[in-house]
Amino acid sequence: MAITKSTKDLSTDKISCGGSFEVVLTLGAEPDIASNPTDIVLILDRSGSMTRSLPALKNAANEFIDIIDESTDGTQNGVIGGGSRMGIVSFADTAVQDTQLITSVADLKGAVNALTAGGFTNHHDAFTKALALFDPMSVNAKVMVMVTDGFTTVGGDAGPVAAAAKAAGVIIYIIGLSGNGGIDEPALRQWASPPDADHVSISPSDAELEAIFGNLARTITSPGATNIVLDDFVTDCFRIQSVTAPSIGSASLISDQHIRWTIPELGATQSQEAVLRFTATHLGLCQGLLPVNESIDYQDDQDQTPDFGDPRIQVDCGGVVVIPEPCPEPVDVVLEGCETELEFDAGEVSLESLGRILKLDVAIPNVCPGRRVALAVILTEVDHRCNEYRRGMKTLVIPAHYESGCRNVTVRCIRFVLPELLDVSGDPDRLCDERRFKARFLANYIDAGFTCCTRDA
């Protein structure tokens, strides 16, 4: 059953500047179908909009059945073995249990090949009839695989019955076929088991449906996960302070922004869930709603790609951050093969990107709400005799904030370009030597509310 759960959760959604929080990484995996008997229900959309796609759906479903057949006992012998079973439910205006949970490949394929398209789309009844096929007393793992191409048009909200199925331990995979007028992707992700990135596949065409179905069958039959290596990197706004030994495997702190978790085997013989906890601390001038992940790199022998989401945390440093100058847009340059040189037209380049760049941050205290601020920054370079040379002046309009009461406003990334030819504070014969500068700041309200008196006043 491979990786069935992958999450990254935070102990809180808000911290103060310099505060700490706990990060919890969780991985869950199930053993392969040969050692973990599984009951699988294929839920196939046969509404009118599926008329064109039905032949592709039949081919894909038949291949799926063949993969399950071979995975359960090592051979395609026409019988699903190892205690596993499969059933077919199809739906349009209403749903039909085309088979019960059986082991005959011929009967399963016969039910699939007999489908004809017509009618509306009733997802609620489809989940209801599929759930009714499972024996609640059975110890077999339980899986639903729904294929649908449209929005619910009759039968009402399928969310509650899908939630009931998941609460009963059913793993729900959904394949959305988007080529026939669109699908309700948010609904599919709500119905599927979490994380939805691992349990929802969107097929843009009939041609890709067979490949997606085949990959899903191989996922369901995979032997858990082996030789897992997970590298978690936090962003520059945070540092990893401490690591608790994981429940399975081992963890090592590669740097204060990089932790590595290794697990030799997970879910290979039984359902397992592994947890790693570490503490991260905020630092620097970053504030606001901040992403915690720089990246999460995951590898295992099964080439799985679990999704851990993008957790974010609100950091309150008692002020407002303004970034008046966005970073320049990058230009992609590719050297192919064994090329050692490339002539490339990069287009227009902004002058601010030339030379050495100095970035300044400045805090303006007690800025009242609803008032813009005019900010001037004057930069000079100082030579060995303390003479100053002009290196630039910037005047910026800092937009008004609307927090409650006066707040500190941090202005970040005020950039100055400093060509090496203008170096007067270091050795002019050396590149990238130490240079010395002085920065002066002037600030005043733009919206002061003052008006001069007139003769009529």
How confident is the model over 324-343, as a mean pLDDT?
75
Least confident of 116-125, 202-211, 427-436: 427-436
Share of the chain above pLDDT 90, in %: 50
257 has pLDDT over 70 = yes
The pLDDT-based confidence of 353 (bands split at 50, 70, 90) is very low
What pLDDT shows up at residue 95?
97
Q: Class assignment of domain 38-221?
A: alpha beta
Least confident of 144-148, 168-172, 360-364, 446-450: 446-450
Give the residue from 302, 142, 139, 307 showing the smallest Cα distance to 223.
302
Higher pLDDT: 448 or 126? It is 126
Q: Does 39 have pLDDT greater than 90?
A: yes
Comparing 223 with 413, which gets the higher pLDDT?
A: 413
pLDDT surpassing 60 at residue 354:
no
Residue-level pLDDT at 278: 96
The domain defined by 2-31+224-317 carries CATH number 2.60.40.680: yes
Sort residue 303 into left (φ over 0), alpha (ψ -120 to 50) or beta: left
Q: How confident is the model at residue 111 (pLDDT cuts 50, 70, 90)?
A: very high
Tell me which of 406-415, 433-442, 448-457 is least confident: 448-457
Report the C-alpha gap between 74 and 452 in whole angstroms: 92
Least confident interval from 34-38, 66-70, 144-148 = 34-38
AA identity, residue 403: E
Per-residue pLDDT, 324: 67
Residue 323 pLDDT: 67
- Chain center to CA of 450: 50
pLDDT confidence bin for 222, thresholds 50/70/90: low
Residues 176, 284: contact at Cβ < 8 Å?
no
Tell me how far apart the alpha carbons of residues 174 and 159 are, in angstroms, rounded to a whole number: 13
Residue 232 has pLDDT above 60, yes or no: yes
Q: Where in the chain is the domain with CATH 3.40.50.410?
A: 38-221
Distance CA 118, CA 110 (A): 19
Position 93 scores a pLDDT of 95
pLDDT tens, 383-431? 888 888 999 999 999 998 888 888 899 998 899 998 887 888 876 566 5
pLDDT of residue 215: 79
Tokens 């609640």 -> residue: 136
Stated pTM of the model = 0.52
Average pLDDT over residues 110-117: 95
Architecture, CATH, for domain 322-326+354-445 = Sandwich (2.60)
Instruction: Give residue 114's pLDDT band: very low, low, confident or very high (50, 70, 90).
Output: very high
Output 335 or 250, whichever has higher pLDDT.
Answer: 250
**Other Cβ atoms closer than 10 A to 415:** 16
**C-alpha distance from residue 28 to each of 102, 151, 158, 228, 328 (Å):** 28, 31, 26, 12, 41
- In angstroms, the CA 187 to CA 28 distance is 24
Q: 182 vs 116, which has greater pLDDT?
A: 116
Contact 60, 210 (CB under 8 A): yes
Averaged pLDDT for residues 33-61: 88
pLDDT at 1: 55
Closest CA to 220 of 170, 168, 165: 170
Interval 263-274: pLDDT, tens = 998 987 677 899
In this predicted structure, the answer to whether residue 381 has a pLDDT above a threshold of 80 is yes
pLDDT of residue 161: 96
Rounded to an integer, what distance in angstroms lies between the CA atom of residue 180 and that of residue 183?
Answer: 8
Distances (CA, A) of 437 to 111, 390, 422, 426: 80, 10, 12, 11
Mean pLDDT in residue range 362-383: 92
CA–CA dist 97, 102 (Å, integer): 12
Q: With cut-offs at 50, 70 and 90, classify the pLDDT of residue 151.
A: confident
